[in-house]
Structure 1
Amino acid sequence: MTEHLTILLVVIPLLIAPITALFKSHTISWLLTIVVSASCFILSFVILYLVIDGTHIVYELGGWRPPWGIEYKIDSFNAFIALIVSGIATVTSIYAFQSVPKEINKNNYGLFYAAFQLCLLGLIGIALTGDIFNLFVFLEISSLSSYALISMGKSRKALTAAFSYLILGTIGATFFLIGVGFLFAASGSLNINDIASRFSSFEDMQVVMTGFIFIVLGLGLKAAIFPLHSWLPNAYSQAPSVVSIFLSATATKVSIYALFRVLFDLYPIDYWTALYLPQVLLVLGCVGVIYGSYRAWQQIELKRLLAFSSVAQIGYIIIGVSLLNETGVTASVMHLFNHAIIKATLFMGAGIIMYRANTTVLKELRGFGGSMPWTFAAIVFAGLSLIGVPGTVGFVTKWYLLEAAISEGKYIVVAAIVIGSVFAIAYVWKIVEAMYFNSKRKVVVSGVRSGDINVAKAPFSLSLALWIGAFACLYFGLYTDIPFESAQSVAKALLATTTGQ
């Protein structure tokens, strides 16, 4: 019976999305979306509880046994990812109730929420599938719906950002598909477990290495790993607030998950360590941390600052996996969860500022913190998590990364983390300075009467979602058992699989 729960995670949004598209009513479309998101979250939580002890749940679609049929194989890793995606989708749906009418044309409400559900479907599908081509299909479902979501913003820049994302996303998907084609030519199979079990019989073929390079490049572009990140700043900063929140917290994380699956489940670890990939990833991760943090510090607009910060945070995840020890991989998997919480909270805060002030340019917000003290308090809590202040989720990740790097003698990582943290202090202080230090002129709030007390009030659904995120930044920074045990279970399973233990 439990195996049927896994397919419901895909079936529910797949059935409800086309129904949602038929409605122009915002309330009905939103209610359907919150039901879909919450249902997936509850199912993901139940599934993670069932597999956290190391057991697997296998579902064979249509009764066709692999490798001929498509297989969903659920372990602690993909259940953890599904929980992150569905949890963020639920909080984002709460936020959307009063944000979407402000930023989306009223004729597009049904289409917007349908695309949101399809994006959720694609991201969860990537996590669940045990078939490499099926992974590509879900990757494209999530990507195509993401392009549509970004383009529905009222700003003309949103169309440009969506088009840029479309071009680079298509290149990444094409690279991935070419790599899958090469691998299929060598193995005659698309099932990940089947390919891995017979890998030694065809690993010397040149086409296998070529396929590996294409797959890694394709997923690296989708995950915005430095220097393949150029699509991310515009996509996140120009998208509607709801889209920025959801994609910043989930899209790149799921692509990184897919990369982990390729590196640890599809190709043997000895194969890609012989290609010096860990060393390459270590360098790219360190440079990404410093570059992303520096570029974030340079920005004068809040959402673009947060977008470049994501480049740096992705660098931390890549550093952890490149160290190839249990502590490092645990830190990487934990940061998939931690950064999702942090960045969703910060983009929710930026969205509330946009809702009230119609701008997120920092110099135009000087002194605005006094008018919205609770909103900016939540932003500060999440900002402290980005820095890695003790007691926040960001500190936990950096602590384990430092421990893993020192144990391996990789002091370049220690230097990168320190430099990245210093820049993080600088750009978070930039936000605090803009919010709390009064300007010499009165803040001008577009569309709100001068002196209107409502400028200090954020709608309840926006504030509720924001403080759920802010509370999570503090709670999981103090009580780390759930994310740590989940991440450690994943790290042990991945390393045990690759070493044949």
Structure 2
Amino acid sequence: MLLDDLPVLPVILPLIAAPVCLLLPNNKLSGSFATVVAWGAFILSVMLLQQIATGGAAEYALGGWASPLGIVYRIDLAGAIVMSLVSLMAAVTLPYAIESIRAEINGYQISAFFAMFLICFAGLMGVVATGDAFNVFVFLEISSLSTYTLVALGAKRDRRALTAAFTYLVLGTIGATFFVIGLGLLYQVTGTLNMLDINEQMQGQDNKVVRAGYAFIVTGIALKLAMFPLHRWLPDAYTYAPSAVTAFLASTSTKVAIYAMLRFLFTVFGFSFGFADVAFTFFLILGLIGMFYASTVAIFREDVKMILAYSSVAQIGYMLLGISFATVDGVGAALVHVVQHAVMKSALFMAVGAVFFAVGSHRLSAYKGLAKKMPITTAAFLIGGLSLIGVPLTGGFISKWVLIQAAFGSVQPVPTLLIVLMIVASSLLAVAYVGRIAWTMLLEDPDNNAPVKAVPLGMTIPMLLMAGLTLYLGIDAGGLIELCRAAAESLLGTGLGFGSAS
């Protein structure tokens, strides 16, 4: 039955469909096929989310071999949320890509682009779905290798895409190496790779090997999610990749890595591990520093994609801040921000891609007076920008408000009031860099000699859909907050973390 196979279908569907894209006779057909596949995966993911929300975590034993001997897919509520988010972003980005990609990469590469996109999509879904620690590594590399290719395809527009892809490859390989070394150390201690079984086998074990494994795994995933100061690959990769690639990666890649971090911290290691409190303190400190460092750098950049790329590093700091509280409210707030940031950043990068399609540049100087020439794109960008700041009635306000509430409900080595003030101050820095772009679009005189191409509906509709969803999640986010809090309770097991009063 379809319902019995739901945990595996959203992963294997894009994986099987990817090579088909290469065989289709024309590029538009391959893009349309990839879009249908992504929407199919999204529908399956939503069905899975509904099933898990009512019936608990879903398991699927590959080949009929039960855990811990066989490879098992195990999807909890948080995983189902992230899978639905990733598949939604793929389903919305692919129609956008059909139109945008023709102006940004060579024509003979387009079918290969959609094949690589689906492979990346399948890898990200697999990271979330699998309950086998080594398969997390495998799926991370599947998504990463295809991502390096997708970033490099931007070389037609800017040769720096090749350097960005190479930097990403080197640092991604280092992160993967750290991660797999950590898995090897855990396997030495436990003799198993099943995540739940690792947790059971490590009960009462808190030795140097386990601590080293913890450090290697956390460092490897931290590099994948671009945690400050391990974020060096992200700004260039986002800036020089094709617009559709940036929109997809910014809304999915780091979010999946955040989930992987949550799963290892709480499902594999748990609170009984003595080194955990030290790690959460590091997340708190590095999250706060990342929020301010990246926001400050963004203020002085002249490339709009680079500005938004650095803002993503800052927003990752907010997610790490929620994780550092190690409470149900904190982790729930981090998950809410994962969803809200994915939606707002997708809208922003789609708007930037629309501007590039119309004027051929994403330098700030090209945005002069665009409100008069491209009012719809300007509106979508401003909605995403206001959400990035955290203005009321946008999704960003909700996620930051929930994060502030979680801060007051936790016990931290840094005074709670100081954490809250730093969250607010970081948002004010976002006013500076978003305000620069808004000022240029709204108040500066346009260059009347610069031609502006009409943006096709295939790009406009997905952009407006994400902008509209950003507003909706700022007005009616109660269901999302409750869902993310329930997911946090599932991840933390007992529902209680360090110093939680939840």
TM value normalised by structure 2: 0.95
Q: State the distance in 2 between where 1:67 and 1:199 align.
A: 14
1:366–1:443 CA contact under 8 A, matched in 2: no
Aligned pair partner of 1:429 in 428, 432, 435: 435
| Structure 1 counterpart SS, 2:73 | strand
Q: Give CA deviations for 1:219-276 in whole Å, capped at 9, x if unaligned.
A: 0000001111010000000000010000000000101100000000000213155551
Aligned in 2, Cα 1:179/1:314: closer, same or farther, shift over 3 Å? same
| Structure 2 stretches lacking a partner, 5+ long | none
Q: State the distance in 2 between where 1:498 and 1:135 align.
A: 25
Q: State the distance in 2 between where 1:23 and 1:94 align.
A: 17
| Structure 2 counterpart SS, 1:72 | strand
| Structure 1 counterpart SS, 2:60 | strand
Q: State the distance in 1 between where 2:13 and 2:322 align.
A: 34
TM value normalised by structure 1: 0.95
2:387–2:394 CA contact under 8 A, matched in 1: yes
Q: State the distance in 2 between where 1:310 and 1:205 align.
A: 36
- What is residue 447 of structure 2 aligned with on the other side? 442
| Displacement of 1:71 | 0.4
| Displacement of 1:24 | 5.6
1:288–1:312 CA contact under 8 A, matched in 2: yes
Q: State the distance in 1 between where 2:423 and 2:448 align.
A: 37
Answering whether residue 194 of structure 2 is matched by residue 191 of structure 1, we say yes
Aligned in 2, Cα 1:206/1:426: closer, same or farther, shift over 3 Å? same
Answering whether residue 467 of structure 2 is matched by residue 470 of structure 1, we say yes
2:283–2:324 CA contact under 8 A, matched in 1: yes
- What is residue 291 of structure 1 aligned with on the other side? 293
1:326–1:492 CA contact under 8 A, matched in 2: yes
| Displacement of 1:330 | 1.1
Aligned in 2, Cα 1:274/1:87: closer, same or farther, shift over 3 Å? closer
- What is residue 362 of structure 2 aligned with on the other side? 360
- What is residue 411 of structure 1 aligned with on the other side? 417
| Structure 1 stretches lacking a partner, 5+ long | 449-454
Answering whether residue 88 of structure 2 is matched by residue 87 of structure 1, we say yes
| Structure 1 counterpart SS, 2:392 | coil
Q: State the distance in 1 between where 2:5 and 2:302 align.
A: 49
Measured on the aligned residues, the alpha-carbon RMSD in Å equals 1.6
Q: Give CA deviations for 1:385-427 in whole Å, capped at 9, x if unaligned.
A: 0010111100011111111212335223212211111111111
- What is residue 393 of structure 1 aligned with on the other side? 395
Q: State the distance in 1 between where 2:382 and 2:213 align.
A: 44
2:359–2:453 CA contact under 8 A, matched in 1: no
Q: State the distance in 2 between where 1:140 and 1:24 align.
A: 29
Q: State the distance in 1 between where 2:233 and 2:448 align.
A: 32
Q: Give CA deviations for 1:402-459 in whole Å, capped at 9, x if unaligned.
A: 11212335223212211111111111111111111233x72553xx4xxxxxx26311
Aligned pairs, number:
491
2:211–2:275 CA contact under 8 A, matched in 1: no
Q: State the distance in 2 between where 1:492 and 1:444 align.
A: 57
1:131–1:191 CA contact under 8 A, matched in 2: yes
| Displacement of 1:497 | 4.6
Aligned in 2, Cα 1:272/1:319: closer, same or farther, shift over 3 Å? farther
Aligned pair partner of 1:228 in 227, 230, 236: 230
Q: 1:79-478, aligned counterparts within 5 Å?
A: 79-153=80-154, 154=156, 155-200=158-203, 203-271=205-273, 274-408=276-410, 409-439=415-445, 442-445=447-450, 448=451, 455=452, 457-478=454-475
Q: State the distance in 2 between where 1:443 and 1:231 align.
A: 37
Q: Give CA deviations for 1:16-67 in whole Å, capped at 9, x if unaligned.
A: 1111123361111111110110011000000001111351211000011111
2:367–2:437 CA contact under 8 A, matched in 1: no
Q: Give CA deviations for 1:97-147 in whole Å, capped at 9, x if unaligned.
A: 210111121111111100000000000000100000011000000000000
Q: Point out 4+ residue stretches in structure 1 off by more than 4 angstroms.
A: 272-275, 497-501
1:25–1:109 CA contact under 8 A, matched in 2: no
